Amino acid sequence: MAEEKSSESLWHGRFAGGPAEALMAYTASLPFDRRLWEVDIRGSKAHVRGLGRAGVLSTAEVEVVLDALDKVHGEFASGTFEFHEGDEDIHTAVERRVTEIAGDAGARLHTARSRNDQVATDLRLWTKGAITEVASGVINLQRVLLDRARQAGDAYLPGYTHLQRAQPVMLAHHLLAHAWSLHRDLDRLVDAYHRLDVSPLGAGALAGTSIAIDPVTTAEDLGFASTFANSLDAVSDRDFVAETLFALSLIGIHLSRIGEEWVLWTSEEFGFARLDDAYATGSSMLPQKKNADIAELARGKSGRLIGNLTGLLATLKALPLAYNRDLQEDKEPLFDSVEQTVLALAAIAGMIGTAEFDTERMAACADAELLVATDLAEHLVRNGVPFRQAHAQVGQLVRRHLSGEANLRDLAVAEIGSDCAAYFESGGATKMRTSPGGAGPSPVVVQIDAFAAAFAESVTRLDGLG
Ligand code: ARG
């Protein structure tokens, strides 16, 4: 888009001279807030209709301004909108152009409105759309996890604590563990959406206006669920940005944990999964390499999401009421976190959806004798031994096994009973996890249904966001 000569600033009446280049370079937000053009036009259309209802603009003037806003919309949509040097932000750019097109009627557009309530309105509208987009990315990844869990059948792998093999778990169970954390993310997003669904339009610069506007009607016009109650709060509140950034940070953290896992799983040392070529990268020097860069960046970029959140919180801290220019710093972190999260969700979904699991390798690792230790202790418990004693008794067998005396199976059969042998059969220990929500085949069947139901409900909730 071409840059043209400077026009007058919005506040030129009070100033003898124009703004310094250094001021514009430092304070302008157009380079990043131009993406708000669509919501800015939507907000202005609602405001103009409100001014018509208030009798500030005649019906004819309302039409002229609405037509001009449509024309500006067309220019943005087709990429022909021309920014001028004096366009400090998207709001000034749109208003300038509307005034060029609509003349005097256009010059009435900003009546009873400040950029303070305007920018808050725009950003809330934008965030509603952004949350919906992120939520559909989360749902897409959940669908992949659910599909893969269903396909996993009776595959199992070692479950870990402290990254040491602990007890075997069904592969479906492991995959759904991540799907459930994403379920909470979705809940947080929807929750944040509803709390931010409040229109600040009509709060003016900070105190409202003497013009007889009706903020409730413009809120309805814009599809907001409710209207601000306090004009000072309306223009200074950025809780919704902080909440959204937190929800995105936590999604990022969840993806980073998935990422770390896939870095491990695809390593030769683990060998639990192989990436599809389309979702892996090679090395410029080492011909044999196939790297899990998506997984690594999911891990790496989570730092940036956390940084965006903490940066914004630091900006908000101790700000006096009401609007301060500091608040302009809300946008870049929000835009960046939304963009990165949407990209990450799609990349991770593709990576997991196309990968191949080596279930033989998983089973071989999960069938290691030591993973049966807890089942031996629980076997003793079923025979009346107090757990603490059972734990010590099995611990001794493990110690004898590790010192080279015999394999654990033979020791268990000799010392505990021949019925222990079944636990050592391939997949034998996995079947022992029968408690509700546990990692064995029977509770996992129940869980897959429970997750599918929760998932279907999420899809309905997302549709409801509109
Ligand atoms: N570009 C500004 C922002 O993003 C718009 C509001 C400016 N308001 C003002 N009074 N300077 O916050």
User: What is the CATH classification number for the domain harbouring 66?
Assistant: 1.10.275.10
The Å distance, Cα 329 to ligand 1 centre, comes to 10
Does ligand 1 have an atom closer than 6 angstroms to the CB of 119? yes
pLDDT digits (tens, 9 = 90+) for 306-352: 999 999 999 999 999 999 999 999 999 999 999 999 999 999 999 99
Give the model's pLDDT for residue 3.
40
Q: What is the pLDDT of residue 5?
A: 40
Please tell me whether residues 84 and 206 are part of one structural domain.
no
Q: Which atom of ligand 1 is nearest to the CA of 29?
A: 1
**Beta 3-4 vs 83-84: how paired, if at all?**
parallel
Ligand 1 binding pocket includes 235 (Cβ within 6 Å): no
Q: Is the CB of 122 within 6 Å of ligand 1?
A: no
**Cβ of 116 below 6 Å from ligand 1:** yes
Residue 29 and residue 89 in one domain: yes
Query: Contact at 8 Å (CB) between 27 and 88?
Result: yes
Cα separation, 396 vs 95, in Å, equals 80
Q: Residue 2: its pLDDT value, please?
A: 39
208 CA to middle of ligand 1, Å? Answer: 17
Q: Pick from 89, 127, 315, 330 the residue to mutate for probing ligand 1's pocket: most ligand atoms within 8 Å of its CB.
A: 89
pLDDT score at 364: 97
Same domain, 27 and 71: yes
Residue 44 domain-assigned (yes or no) = yes
Does residue 289 fall inside a structural domain?
yes
Asked whether 309 and 291 are in contact (CB, 8 A), the reply is no
Give me the residue label for tokens 């559909």. 136
The amino acid present at 386, given as its one-letter code, is P
In testing the pocket of ligand 1, which one of 35, 122, 328 has its CB within 8 Å of the most ligand atoms? 328
Residue 195 sits in the same domain as residue 328: yes
Q: Which residues of 384-402 are buried (b: 16+ CB within 10 A; e: fewer)?
A: ebeeeebbeebeebbeebe
Alpha-carbon span 293 to 300, nearest angstrom: 10
In a domain, 411, yes or no: yes
| Phi, psi at 227, each rounded to 5° | -125, 150
- Atom of ligand 1 at shortest range from CA of 88: 1
Asked if 201 and 118 count as a contact pair (C-beta separation under 8 A), the reply is yes
Instruction: State whether the beta carbon of 244 lies less than 6 angstroms from ligand 1.
Output: no
**Do the domain assignments include residue 161?**
no
Q: Note whether 198 and 231 are within 8 A (CB).
A: no
Q: For ligand 1, atom 2, name the residue with the nearest CA.
A: 328
Residue 32 Cα to ligand 1 midpoint, Å, equals: 13
Q: Domain holding 374: CATH number?
A: 1.10.40.30
State whether the beta carbon of 325 lies less than 6 angstroms from ligand 1. yes
Please state, in angstroms and rounded to a whole number, the distance separating the CA atoms of residues 451 and 363. 25
Do residue 312 and residue 249 come from a single domain? yes
Crossing angle of helices 293-316 and 239-265, rounded to 10°? 160
Where does 278-408 show beta strands of DSSP type E? 356-357
Measured in angstroms, how far is the CA atom of residue 81 from the centroid of ligand 1?
21
Return the pLDDT at 4: 38
Q: Is any ligand 1 atom within 6 A of the Cβ of residue 92?
A: no
The rounded Å distance from CA 94 to ligand 1 centre is: 14
Name the residue among 139, 125, 168 with its Cα closest to residue 37.
Answer: 125
Contact 152, 363 (CB under 8 A): no
pLDDT number for residue 17: 83
| Catalytic residue annotation | 162, 283
Dump pLDDT digits (tens) for 193-236. 999 999 999 999 999 999 999 999 999 999 999 999 999 999 99
Whether residue 87 has its Cβ less than 6 Å from ligand 1: no
Per-residue confidence (pLDDT) for residue 410, from 0 to 100: 97
Give the nearest ligand 1 atom to 123 CA.
Answer: 4
Q: Atom 4 in ligand 1: which residue has the minimum CA distance?
A: 328
Cα(212) to centroid(ligand 1), Å? 24
Tally of domains within the chain: 3
Same domain, 101 and 129: no
Q: CB-based contacts of 32: which residues, under 8 Å, 6+ apart?
A: 331, 332, 335
- 162 within some domain: no
Indicate whether 345 and 205 sit together in one domain: yes
Nearest residue (CA) to ligand 1, atom 7: 115
Task: Give the tokens for residue 117.
Answer: 């309530």
Boundaries of domain holding 373: 368-425
In the reported structure, the alpha carbon of residue 328 is separated from the centroid of ligand 1 by a whole-number distance in angstroms of: 6
pLDDT at residue number 289:
85
The answer as to whether 432 is a domain residue is no
* 240/138 same-domain check: yes
457 inside domain? no
| 266 and 397 belong to one structural domain | no
* Structural domain contains residue 466: no
**Site to substitute for ligand 1 among 40, 119, 201, most atoms within 8 A of C-beta:** 119
Of 271, 264, 272, 270, the residue nearest 295 (C-alpha): 264
CATH number of the domain at 182, please: 1.20.200.10
What is the position in ligand 1's atom list of the atom closest to the CA of 327? 12
22 three-class SS:
helix
The residue to mutate among 37, 206, 325, having the most atoms of ligand 1 within 8 angstroms of its beta carbon, is 325
Task: Flag residues of the chain having pLDDT under 50.
Answer: 1-6
Atom of ligand 1 nearest to the CA of 89: 1
Judge contact between 345 and 294, C-beta under 8 A.
Answer: no
